[in-house]
Amino acid sequence: MHMNRIQQHPVLSVQKERVRVTFYFDGEEISGFEGEPVASSLIAAGHHVFSYHHRDGAAQGLFCANGQCSQCTMLIDGVPKKACMTPVAEGMDVRTLKGLPQLPAQDEPLVQAERRSIRTDIFVIGAGPAGLAAAAELGEMGYQVLVADDKPRAGGKLVLQTHKFFGSEADCYAGTRGIDIARILEGEATRHPSVTILTNAPVVGLYKDRKAGIFLNYESYLIVEFTALVVAAGAREKALQFPGWDLPGVIGAGAFQTLVNRDLVKAYRNILIVGSGNVGLIAAYHALQAGIGVAGIFEAAGRITGYQVHADKIRRMGVPIFLNSTVVRAEGAEKVERAYVAAVDEKFQPLPGTSRVYDVDAILIAVGLSPCNEFLEQAQRYGIMAVAAGDAAEIAEASSAIYGGKTAAVRLACMLGKKTAIHVDWETTRQVLASRPGDSYERSFVIPGPEWRPVFFCAEEIPCNPCATVCPVGAIQLKSLRGTIMDLPYFAGNRCTGCGSCVAVCPGLAITLVRRVSDDKAQVVLPWEFNADFDIGAEMDLVDQKGGFIERAAVVAKRKVAARNTWLLTFKVNVEHASKIAGIRVQPEALTLPLGGEQGEVQAEAVDDLDAVLCRCERITLRQAVEFIKRHNVRDVNQLKALRVGMGACGGKTCSQLVAKAFALAGIDFADVEPPTHRPLFMEVPMGALVNEGLHKLGGKDAGARGAP
């Protein structure tokens, strides 16, 4: 059986005792792990097509892995369900959904209906860093707090992050990996007996009488009565439209991280990433750790939009970043097989004669985030006392979201009449942590001496200070320019112990240690966050700050800093190179070349993107939308529902980000267009679940036949 599982990971522990279950996919016996989503089990088994659309038979597969887009809907035990949110179970019958499903026959009358409800003071939507921080703060004040999250674990996107975080070590656990920060924040919230966290509990509706509906465990309906609300639902990834973007294999970067870091599925062979923000840069790092090749990162803007230190780290690992470039189309027989990219002009239009093709089986979309603030807007319309926290209030790093949650909690308490105030430093700290990168500086060249000396390869001002706080002799300080953790670190002491603490803690892997050992040789200590199952003497390619090759050298020592889960590798190198060496190449250059070699073969120009799908759920093209807008003089997004745009199972969450382009092409300023109305329910809920009818689970090898088209 073809199983694409990650057997060994440099950061994550691969559990050997996971319980295997057997289920059936289109009659074929498949093995999966108990509790993991059906989608992950199928992709691990090499199956990427989950359905064929009823309109044109187009193949569909995993896209968001977040329960919001419905592209992964399958026939599961006779009922259409989202494969990314449905845990696999022994004997489950899973079928490719071909066209529209049939409702299973249900001839028996309603025999019971149960209303389930609970009461709390504060209801927190979302158990990410902002929601957990808000819950901890409110719990400290003595409020009864209920937190609801749609995922099986609390922590939000932190549970997908294997990298060490930037920020302040004292304020937001900088230098600690996201997966560990998630556990810390959950512990801080649940140590208060008045705080309860519900997982696998998506909030699906908000009502005028200060009540909310939870689709608990995706099988029953729970009403929550509350006094006030904290919306910390995070953000969803923005979509990017191009011909072929609806193929299986075009997925959000977060969905990719879910597969490789949560479910340990080696989903793809070689990927291409669109977008150079921190999400895209980090996704490349996660791919390499999972043993997946990265052909490159393509950014339409003329500059990298994430942290420069992140970008440099990825370049050193062997992943090129192309600016003023973007993907223009994807091709493949029911799955991505090729990606076409081209240079773009100042209006982001592809330049003729620059299109080249890459042999990849996935395209990751990492072009920004949109706040999930629908419940906040609804609460404000209903006059419900509510505050937003984290990405629902402002798109920023998780470190900033922690303080956003704390300040939102105190603000809400004040609204409730409690005599308290936001700590004087909290808002300042939040603003610093949310800061965009500042100025860049040229670093002075370090001449290796007989004693160890740190070399810093971070040249851009970002909020980060863990290297300055872990040095046992206080030899690393921040330059006093801004007077905050935006200042760059430098070596301020007269001695370095060579302990490597600064090298191991640096989130950007941007610190090395050097010392001269002879007239022509020096030693350099480099961080390594990949499997280290090689012997002393193994040779590696060493590179400079931007990834340029310097020399090939042998490992002369290696040790693991267990507290940081990071290896320190020591190399003996030419003395004139020592202070220039910043990292180790991870993947060979051959994986990053387009078809046709280093320069690539210029391909036929991209097809007209007016023929690209706009609404994935209903398979409506951009051309159809533009013509409809012109023909009917449309000035309200809701009018597009007559064309079925926004009427699909995702509730318009995906296409609502793209309709502005249709109006622009129709010659209409989108600022003059009435925005769409949100659905009363945030996601699909079966009618039987709404009344808690108590239906038994259908199940069984042949259950899927009952709902087959």
CB-hemisphere CA count at 13 Å for 614? 26
The CA distances from residue 556 to 517, 538, 559, 568, 570, in Å, are: 13, 8, 11, 11, 6
The answer to whether residues 21 and 31 touch, using CB atoms and an 8 Å cutoff, is yes
Whether 292 and 329 share a structural domain:
yes
pLDDT digits (tens, 9 = 90+) for 235-270: 989 999 999 999 999 999 999 999 999 999 999 999
Whether 2 and 125 share a structural domain:
no
Instruction: Tally the domains of the chain.
Output: 5
Q: Is residue 440 part of a domain?
A: no
Of 473, 477, 472, the C-alpha closest to 489 is 477
Residue that has been written with the tokens 């209303």 in this structure: 115
| CA–CA dist 62, 71 (Å, integer) | 6
Q: Angle, nearest 10°, between helix axes 178-190 and 398-415?
A: 20
Q: Angle, nearest 10°, between helix axes 129-140 and 178-190?
A: 20
583 has pLDDT over 90: yes
H or E element, residue 344: none
Token pair listed for 47: 């199956």
How many Å separate Cα 95 from the centre of its chain? 28
Q: Please provide the DSSP assignment of 322-371 as one string.
A: ESSEEEEEEE-SSS--EEEEEEB-TTSPBPTT--EEE--SEEEE-S-EEE
Whether 325 and 377 share a structural domain:
no
Please tell me whether residue 491 adopts helix, strand or coil conformation.
strand
* Rounded percentage of the chain residues whose pLDDT exceeds 90: 79
**Among 555, 589, 623, where does a domain finish?**
589
Please tell me whether residue 604 adopts helix, strand or coil conformation.
coil
pLDDT digits (tens, 9 = 90+) for 59-84: 999 999 988 888 999 999 988 999 99
Residue that has been written with the tokens 């609806």 in this structure: 246
Q: Is residue 684 part of a domain?
A: no
Mean pLDDT of 499-525: 97
Ranges 424-428, 450-454, 466-470, 603-607: which has the least confidence: 603-607
- Burial tier of 206 (Cβ tally within 10 Å: 0-12, 13-18, 19+): buried
List the helix and strand counts (H, then E) for the chain.
15, 38
104 has pLDDT over 90: no
The C-alpha R_g of the chain, in whole angstroms, comes to: 26
686 has pLDDT over 50: yes
**Among 325, 345, 367, where does a domain finish?**
367
| CA–CA dist 552, 601 (Å, integer) | 31
Beta strands in 56-128 (DSSP E): 59-60, 73-76, 79-82, 93-95, 97-98, 116-119, 122-125
Whether 192 and 291 share a structural domain:
no
Can you state the percent helix, strand and coil of the chain, rounding each to 5?
25, 25, 50
Please tell me whether residue 118 adopts helix, strand or coil conformation.
strand
Identify the pLDDT of residue 694.
64
| CA–CA dist 411, 417 (Å, integer) | 10
Q: Is residue 441 part of a domain?
A: no
Give the residue numbers spanning the domain of 652.
609-672
Q: Is residue 581 part of a domain?
A: yes
Confidence category of residue 696, pLDDT binned at 50, 70, 90: very low
| CA–CA dist 366, 275 (Å, integer) | 5
Token pair listed for 544: 């400079």
| CA–CA dist 302, 344 (Å, integer) | 10
682 has pLDDT over 90: no
The answer to whether residues 112 and 119 touch, using CB atoms and an 8 Å cutoff, is no
The answer to whether residues 23 and 94 touch, using CB atoms and an 8 Å cutoff, is yes
Please tell me whether residue 536 adopts helix, strand or coil conformation.
coil
Whether 83 and 122 share a structural domain:
no
Confidence category of residue 2, pLDDT binned at 50, 70, 90: very low
3-state SS track over 645-694:
CCCCCCCCCCHHHCHHHHHHHCCCCHHHCECCCCCCCCCCCCHHHHCCCC
**Among 556, 589, 622, where does a domain finish?**
589
| CA–CA dist 694, 607 (Å, integer) | 51
The answer to whether residues 307 and 166 touch, using CB atoms and an 8 Å cutoff, is yes
pLDDT digits (tens, 9 = 90+) for 383-413: 999 999 999 888 888 889 999 999 999 999 9
The answer to whether residues 269 and 361 touch, using CB atoms and an 8 Å cutoff, is yes
| CA–CA dist 685, 430 (Å, integer) | 37
Token pair listed for 702: 């042949």
Identify the pLDDT of residue 653.
87
| CA–CA dist 488, 508 (Å, integer) | 13
Mean pLDDT, rounded, of the chain:
92
Mean pLDDT of 328-347: 95
The CA distances from residue 604 to 55, 242, 341, 342, in Å, are: 29, 15, 11, 11
Ranges 134-143, 205-214, 650-659: which has the least confidence: 650-659
Token pair listed for 77: 């035990």
Residue that has been written with the tokens 């470190």 in this structure: 399
- Burial tier of 126 (Cβ tally within 10 Å: 0-12, 13-18, 19+): buried
The answer to whether residues 59 and 49 touch, using CB atoms and an 8 Å cutoff, is yes
pLDDT digits (tens, 9 = 90+) for 628-678: 999 999 999 999 999 999 998 888 888 888 999 999 999 999 999 999 988
Identify the pLDDT of residue 687.
83
Q: Angle, nearest 10°, between helix axes 308-316 and 278-289?
A: 30
Whether 23 and 92 share a structural domain:
yes
The answer to whether residues 281 and 310 touch, using CB atoms and an 8 Å cutoff, is yes
Domain of residue 618, CATH code: 1.10.10
DSSP for residue 561: E
Domain of residue 259, CATH code: 3.50.50.60
* Adjacent-strand bridge partners of 339: 330, 358
Token pair listed for 538: 């193994």
Token pair listed for 703: 């259950």
Q: Each residue of 374-402: b (16+ CB within 10 Å) or e?
A: bbbebbeeeebebbbbbbbbbbbbbbbbb
| CA–CA dist 203, 373 (Å, integer) | 13
Whether 346 and 254 share a structural domain:
yes
Mean pLDDT of 19-41: 94
Whether 162 and 217 share a structural domain:
yes
The answer to whether residues 127 and 235 touch, using CB atoms and an 8 Å cutoff, is no
Q: Is residue 332 part of a domain?
A: yes
Q: Is residue 686 part of a domain?
A: no
Ranges 45-59, 467-481, 519-533, 684-698: which has the least confidence: 684-698
Q: Is residue 594 part of a domain?
A: no
Q: What are phi and psi of 246, to 5 degrees?
A: -90, 5
β-strand 293-298 against 270-274: which pairing, if any?
parallel
Whether 383 and 299 share a structural domain:
no
The answer to whether residues 41 and 30 touch, using CB atoms and an 8 Å cutoff, is yes
DSSP for residue 262: I
Q: Is residue 649 part of a domain?
A: yes
Whether 258 and 321 share a structural domain:
yes
Q: CB within 8 A of 147, min separation 6: which ones?
A: 124, 126, 127, 131, 132, 135, 154, 189, 195, 196, 197, 198
The answer to whether residues 397 and 435 touch, using CB atoms and an 8 Å cutoff, is no
Whether 356 and 378 share a structural domain:
no
Domain of residue 4, CATH code: 3.10.20.440
607 has pLDDT over 60: no
Identify the pLDDT of residue 312.
97
Identify the pLDDT of residue 187.
97
Identify the pLDDT of residue 597.
77
| CA–CA dist 32, 35 (Å, integer) | 9
Whether 579 and 468 share a structural domain:
yes
What is the model's pTM? Answer: 0.94
* CA dihedral over 237, 233, 168, 429, signed as positive or negative: positive
The CA distances from residue 568 to 505, 532, 555, 586, 695, in Å, are: 11, 10, 10, 15, 56
Alpha helices (H) along 193-307? 253-257, 278-289
288 has pLDDT over 90: yes
